[in-house]
Amino acid sequence: MAASSEFPGDGENETASRRKTALATGIALVIALGLLLLASFILLPGRSQANEFDSQINARLAELDVKPAAVELTSDKALHVRHAIVAGDFNTADRITADVLSHSRIENWRYYPFEDFIQDVSAGATPLFGRRLDEWVTKDHRSALPFLFRARYLYDAGWMTRGRGVAAKTDPGRMTAFADELKNALTDVNAAIDFNAHNPYSFNLKLRILHGFGMSPTYVAAFEQAIARYPAYYPLYEITLDALQPRWNGSVPEMYRFVDKYAGPAPQFSPLKLLYLSLYRHLLSTASMDCIAQEGNADKTAQCVGAYMQKTVQSGLEQQSQTALRLYDHTDKYEFGSEVYDIISDMLGSYGADAYSGAVLQLAAISMHSDTQLVEDKRTHNDYIVDELVAQSWHDKGFDDNEVAKRKEALADARSEKFPGEEERDIALAAIYEQLSQSASNQRQYVDEIAFEKAAVLLGVKWDENYICHGYYELKQYDEAVQSCSDAISSTDNAYARYWRGEAYNQSGRPQQALADLTNVAEADNYFSPYAAVDMTMIYFNHNDNQGAVRVLNKYTFLYDPYRTEKSQVAVAYNNRCYAYMQLGFLKKALDDCTQSLKYGSIPDAFRKEQELMRRLSTSQGGSAGTVSSSSTRSL
């Protein structure tokens, strides 16, 4: 199973042919709001300490006994294509893509490897990539591929603009921009289909794009067109079932009718039977979302979810779901595991639904001839997918040690598993190493974090290579952090590595290099953009450049948008601008910002500054300065 980034129709994790070792998954965001001394001195560890860390990391990596990848991964081919497109080398991009397409085929639950390939080509793409696609479309205006690549890029860009929140809590301007991006994506994917209707992924992407507008007659027509051409292509049915949820203008009865229509009459061991398990998943997700909004606390939410499921789970669905899980013995086990992982992982992530997701996990374990015990019975062999799901359930409950124990069992079981090929094996092992790296980061075990991620990189998987430079950063090995972040940036255009390189530059006394990296991150509109912008202001504050800090704070307006930025960060931004305006003598502007800061968070200094500013404005006399707030602690 490969790992990649995807924005589904509802902005949550999609059911795809492989797992995403999502950067934000499994890592709690901790924001420490406090006082930061404007003049701080950082003593860098000596070379001897760096050598000691290197020895520990190398010893840990040697213990893992990882053999380097012997085959070129699909993700590497995708990266070559992305770089070729950015360089304007469209012939190379076309040649590599044509080769991937020639080896792609519809399997039980995916079109492999092209689905993974195009996903990786677009992942983390920059506006420059988009401009190059415009050039390619102009140059080869009657070729399907440039239109398809641009449609995928616009789809991803649209969801990045929109964000992952529900529509009612998303800024209207972002929703408008999102709709515009999807309309352009739809135009392009239609052109790709017109030029070449023999690529099933084009129909997959068209449904995903239309999903963003909600269920409609246009969507229904597109679905019917797609399955008429590719009736055995499972993702077409899964995307549509997802789109029939109530939050997308569908309904529970429509979901049942859809699954009964297509999975009901299918042969006994048809992959379509898994739609019953997915229906159960979507009912659970709908219950969780509705109950969170209504109830708020965990116990009441769980009771609400229980009542919802009792009302909506029709007689026979649980039995049909169990029957679907028995496909394990009658289909390709690797493909089955990949698909079931996505479904049950979503269930485990449904808040207040533990009683139901846990029961399904137990049924899956039985069907896959495994168990969910913390300590595996050594007389039996678990499927590593079950180990991974059990590890996720322990993570969600906050038991880090249990999670790590199950991840290590997953690693041992995966090593003895039979895979379709070396690529699938390397990707599965690397995904577990990446999860272990994230777990080590959570527990501040930075030597292990680095070693586990280096193991994944040895296997050819570099999606989360930023964990290496983050680990070095936390160990205060700033030169090593800069070097490893630079490696990640050069190999995969890793935006998060650029953030940590900027932080390492800053901590090692190289503010100009830090500002260059942090500016890049702030303008990229990604998870770390608010943190990068705030950290840029801190650099200016630390150099007594209040004007520079104000320029940054006024430039990045997303800092004040609670739909885009977490409320605690909005409080930080207002508080910092309050301080800057106060220093510059703009007392009324400063007071307004301190008042706004207190609406979003309770930063102690903001209270003091607000009182001081009110006094100074009333007496027209000078006063003391306040302090500024740093992002301080950030997750990966």
Q: Mean pLDDT check: name the lowest of 58-62, 77-81, 621-625.
A: 621-625
* pLDDT at 170 exceeding the cut of 50: yes
- Give per-residue burial for 37-76: e unless 16+ CB within 10 Å, then b: eeeeeeeeeeeeebeebeebbeebbeeeebeebeeebbbb
User: In 3-state terms, what secondary structure has residue 106?
Assistant: strand
pLDDT score recorded for residue 21: 33
Quote the pLDDT of residue 379: 65
Q: What token pair was written down for 451? A: 């070693």
Give the pLDDT score at 182. 97
The rounded distance, in Å, linking the Cα atoms of 149 and 618 is 60
Does residue 534 contact residue 573 with C-beta atoms inside 8 Å? Answer: yes
Check pLDDT > 90 for residue 307.
yes
Nearest to 317 by CA among 356, 289, 267: 356
For the chain, what percentages of helix, strand and coil (3-state, to nearest 5) are there?
70, 0, 30
Q: What band does 162 get if pLDDT is binned at 50, 70 and 90? A: confident
> Residue 391: CB partners within 8 Å, gap ≥ 6?
402, 403, 404, 406, 407, 410, 435
Three-state secondary structure of 423-459: HHHHHHHHHHHHHHHHHHHHCCCHHHHHHHHHHHHHC
Q: What is the CA radius of gyration of the chain?
A: 26
The end-to-end CA distance of the chain, in Å, is 22
Length of the chain as a residue count:
636
User: Rounded to the nearest 5 degrees, what angle is found at the Cα of 526, between the Cα atoms of 525 and 532?
Assistant: 85
- d(CA 428, CA 415) in angstroms, rounded, equals 9
Does residue 469 or residue 619 have the better pLDDT?
A: 469
Reported in sequence order, the residue ranges of 134-261 that DSSP labels E, i.e. its strands, are: none
- Residues of the chain with pLDDT > 90, as a percent, come to 78
Is the separation of the CB atoms in 521 and 529 below 8 Å? yes
pTM to 2 decimal places: 0.86
Average pLDDT over residues 147-169: 88
What pLDDT is attached to residue 181?
97
The whole-number pLDDT of residue 625 equals: 52
Least confident window among 53-67, 318-332, 368-382: 368-382
Which of the two residues, 42 and 389, has the higher pLDDT score?
389
Cα–Cα nearest to 594, from 622, 572, 616, 567:
572
Distance CA 512, CA 554 (A): 20
- Does the pLDDT value for residue 627 go beyond 60? yes
The predicted structure's pLDDT at residue 294: 80
